[in-house]
Structure 1
């Protein structure tokens, strides 16, 4: 498994009540052993999480299931990360 950094940048359509579905999604990833870390940016512009995946395509497939992405509330970007 490799590490992938996922950033979520809030869009204009973001509403705070959308976070419940996002946090449930992250909880499921953690329970499945796919999530290492997650948290919001201090400035409120979005957040990031660290995924474990076999390859970048799998990481993108997982990240695009994020409700924040599906609801159009955030732009999701996936980076292959050489975390040490």
Structure 2
């Protein structure tokens, strides 16, 4: 199944309260078996996670439902990734 790298870069409207919701969201993805890796950047500018999904559209649908995106706290970008 294809892999997708999701980056979440904080905006000027970042809401600290979105982080707890974001971690619940990531745990739900992990429970579904679609989240491989996740973590914040050490400079606190955002983070990234690695998903498996049937298509880019499916990966975007998942990522764009992330609370850091829906609250406007982060810009979420999804890349199809040919990681080895």
Q: Which runs of 5+ in 2 are unaligned?
A: none
Partner Cα separation in structure 1 for residue 54 and residue 19 of structure 2: 27
Compute the displacement of 1:13 (Å).
1.2
TM-score by length of 2: 0.97
Partner Cα separation in structure 1 for residue 74 and residue 65 of structure 2: 12
Please give the root-mean-square deviation of Cα atoms over the aligned residues, in Å.
0.6
TM-score by length of 1: 0.97
Runs of 4+ in 1 over 4 A off after TM superposition: none
Secondary structure, aligned partner of 1:5: strand
Aligned length: 84
